[in-house]
Structure 1
Amino acid sequence: MVKKGDKLIDWAMEIQAIGQTGLAYSKDVFDTERYERLREIAAEMLAEKSGVDLDRVKGLFCNEIGYQTPKIATRAAVFREGKILLVQENEGHWSLPGGWCDVDQSPADNCVKECKEESGIEVKLDQVIAVWDHFKHHGSLHPYGITDIYYLCTPLGGQFEENIETKQAGWFSEDDLPPIFERKNSTAQIKECFKAYRSPDWQTEFD
């Protein structure tokens, strides 16, 4: 993973965005070739800096079309008796229920849906804890920005059901967290969720 603040990475992402936007709007075949090359250069820069295989970088970095905009992801911070709900990903680590926002869902509706699908728990959204820039907190090889919206939630009922995304769900105290999938939501972010849960006058955080 790579982090913002490195000029080479910032330039690579900007070049990629220019190339992608140019491909979306250019009608000239020669300009199209130039914009394609810009995307290739951006991928080569990122591969060189990150040490990741160039083909993998191209697969992640050069497959978007249209004007480049950030993607939205949602995370549900669900609390019961002072413990937070986490789901175990198939690779073994744990995270807050959540994921990409589907095109036919509002962020709020998506949060409810993802929580139910991954944990089996139905929830009511109470408050927005934070709107965080994913790249600032986790780094990324994605060519686009990602905005993560964290919601404070109340459980309404339900139980874990077998699914293709997660292996199990559980409730954890702040001082007894399992191994966290840091690329999705960091331990520090989960601790911020605990702060929001305990605070009667929480103010939404944002980057």
Structure 2
Amino acid sequence: MRVPDELTKRRLTQARRLLAIAQTGLHYTTGAFDKERYQELLGLAQDQLADLADVSTAHVAQLFAHERGYANPKIDVRCAVFNETGEVLLVREAADGRWSLPGGWADIGASPGENAIREVREESGYIVTLARLLAVWDMPKHEHPPSLFHTWKLVFLGNIVAAGDISGVETDAVGFFPVGVLPPLSLGRILPEQIRRLDELRRNGETEFD
């Protein structure tokens, strides 16, 4: 999907907010009348998201079918790993054939750091330890393609302990690349300017957050 313009960004934010209000309302309301109205609001929000993302309303409804309770942003946890020459570790996503930092949705039952270590091991084969948190980014504030979910991205700095083989099914290749000469990236997951910024942050000993 193309990078959204400012109007599309505002409409996405509004649609996500409407969906969150409907989801939270359906969780807390005890009145039949209110439940009916929140259900109607939910349908309108799903229609808006479907139009903006150019997918069917049924697809949006399926994606959010298991979202219950008070609505919260989703958490995307990733790990930035650099070798001794400053090249960054990237994995190729089987879903779109493009490259990204190893990572994904945070799983319940594990801490953010534990999730990051597991994702690196499964997607690249490398075993890492975490040095520190590099960035916490609110994805709608960056130039990602339109997304149905409101997502926060946590990126840790990882140090390689050992190498191994890819064990997951979501990636099909792994490699180290110069920060200035990156392969085609999966822009819904990571942007070139974000990788360059992560390199600056790790070299300067800094952490960035939105």
TM-score (norm 2): 0.88
Alignment CA distance shift 1:13-1:118 (3 Å) = same
Q: Secondary structure at the match of 1:52?
A: coil
Matched-pair contact (CA < 8 Å) for 1:26–1:32: yes
Report how many residues are paired.
204
- Name the counterpart of 1:146: 151
TM-score (norm 1): 0.89
- Name the counterpart of 1:197: 202
* Correspondent of 1:88 among 92, 117, 129: 92
Q: Residues 143-175 of structure 1, C-alpha deviation per residue, up to 9 Å, x if partnerless?
A: 4x2111111111111123353111011111112
- Structure 2 unaligned blocks of 5 or more: none
Note the 1:50-89 alignment, pairs <5 A.
Answer: 50-61=53-64, 63-81=66-84, 82-89=86-93
The one-letter code matched in structure 1 to 2:11 is L
- Name the counterpart of 1:29: 32
Partners of 1:45 and 1:73 lie apart in 2 by 24
- Name the counterpart of 2:110: 105
Q: Secondary structure at the match of 2:26?
A: helix
Partners of 2:16 and 2:63 lie apart in 1 by 12
- Name the counterpart of 2:14: 11
- Percent identity among equivalent residues? 39
Partners of 1:3 and 1:125 lie apart in 2 by 36
* Correspondent of 1:42 among 39, 45, 52: 45
- Name the counterpart of 1:159: 164
The one-letter code matched in structure 1 to 2:33 is F
Matched-pair contact (CA < 8 Å) for 2:185–2:192: yes
Partners of 2:122 and 2:21 lie apart in 1 by 37
